[in-house]
Structure 1
Amino acid sequence: MKLQEMVVFTVMLVAASEGQKTFLKAVVGGNVTLPDPLPEDGFLLRESTNLAQVLETKLRIIREPYKNRILWDQSSGLFTITDLQRSDSGLYKIDSVKGKVFVVSYNLTVFDSVAPPAVQRLNSSSDGCWLLCSVN
């Protein structure tokens, strides 16, 4: 195999192992569970910053703002980020470095929660009633 063919093959292999980007939505104060499991050693990254590492079935949180907010379930292999804030919106990646090697990307958008609607009765009769619902 020529050097050019090997380079093209390597690039195609890397591109194939990096899965599709999944779009996730969550609400401020809520939680989000990333849908792809990391069954063995690997990393959870935000943009290119390493947030957490799983090594020999133990989770190590690397970035201080995520201490007590990133969970990893050893039996399912799923990551959960808790107590979400608007500033948590962004691109996250799971990078597996052992077993089935893969990289999966997630674009997380965290929204403010919607206030409950205000309901006001405008008119009522034996035939029915008229309500006005509004939200700021």
Structure 2
Amino acid sequence: MRDPPGGGRSLLWILLCFTGLSPSSAQSGSQQVQGLLGESVTFPAPVFTRGNLLYTGVGSIVIVFKGAADANITDKFRDRLQWDRQTGLFTITQLRLQDEGQYEVDNTDGQKIITRFQLTVYERVSKPTVEIQNCTAVCSVENGRDVILSWTRGEEILNQTSSPLLNTPLSLSLDIEELHNGTYSCVASNPVSEESVQLNKMTCWEPPETVNTGVRYIPVIPAAALLVFPGVFAVFCIAQKLRHGAQ
């Protein structure tokens, strides 16, 4: 991108005033645009020879005239604005959360067209973690704007959750006993980023219950007692005979 030649910015501003670059001209519908913190966003409305990009509360932040652009007209976006001569598109680089708001591409290449964009800047979603508790896999992640936490099997969403309470982590459970063949993953996502962790094949284990086999226990006489009993019986018999003989 290069500065406009010749008379510089003052002449450019005068020419723009006479050419009627006014936000009150014919307008098109508004579009939603999302960007990732620290990355870039491009507004899909081209300007090839004459027009400008405006930001609510600031005014023009890029001016295009006769195929040349001036983007250093405000400190808020200094060195972060680009205009591509080939595509005619405006791009903001090194996005900040403070860049959110409404933008307008004012195109006067031919018929005057104003296209409005509502920019939302998101932080990158955190990577989720999974813990196994008995027969349940519990997935957790830090919450953020428009973050959704899901359990998936392949491309199929099994369940999901979200919360407007941004300071409270999101948590979602999956019953391991009901798992079938397939790849199971916990996925955290927002409109511009996604992180996931795959659930390794787990075996559900629980302490076994006590089983009643119905076996009855029979008292067992010690072997020593069985050896002694015949001897005692023999002595008893001899004593009885001697008693009878004495009589």
Same fold (TM over 0.5): yes
Following the alignment from structure 1 to structure 2, what is the Cα–Cα distance between the partners of residues 37 and 114?
Answer: 31
Question: Normalising by structure 1, what TM-score?
Answer: 0.75
The C-alpha deviation readout for 1:78-122, integer Å capped at 9, x for no partner, is: 1111111111110100112332321111011112221122234x2
| Contact kept in structure 1, 2:46 and 2:107, CA below 8 Å | no
Aligned to 1:86: 97
Amino acid at match of 1:134: S
Counterpart CA distance in 2 for 1:118 and 1:65 is 38
The CA distance in 2 between the partners of 1:77 and 1:25, in whole Å, is: 20
Alpha-carbon distance in structure 2 between the residues aligned to 1:83 and 1:119: 33
**Aligned equivalents of 2:130, 2:82: Cα separation in 1:** 39
With structure 2 as the length reference, what TM-score do the two structures score?
0.43
Aligned to 2:54: 45
| 1:21 aligned to which of 23, 30, 34 | 30
Q: After the TM superposition, which residues 1-136 of structure 1 pair with which residues of structure 2 at under 5 Å, given as runs?
A: 17-48=26-57, 49-61=59-71, 62-120=73-131, 122=132, 131-136=137-142
- Residue 25 of structure 1 and its aligned partner are, at CA, apart by 1.3
- Give the unaligned 5+ runs of structure 1: 1-13
Go from structure 1 to structure 2 and tell me whether the alpha carbon gap of 1:119 and 1:58 turns closer, same or farther (over 3 Å shift): farther
Higher percent of residues as strand: 1
Quote the sequence identity (%): 30
Distance in 1 (CA, whole Å) between partners of 2:51 and 2:28 is 15
**Which runs of no fewer than 5 residues in structure 2 stay unpaired?**
1-23, 143-247
- Specify the alignment match of 2:13 in structure 1: none
Check the 8 A contact 1:40/1:99 in 2, yes or no: no
**Higher alpha-carbon Rg:** 2
Q: Is the 8 A contact 1:51 1:63 kept in 2?
A: yes
Q: Distance in 2 between matches of 1:78 and 1:58?
A: 13
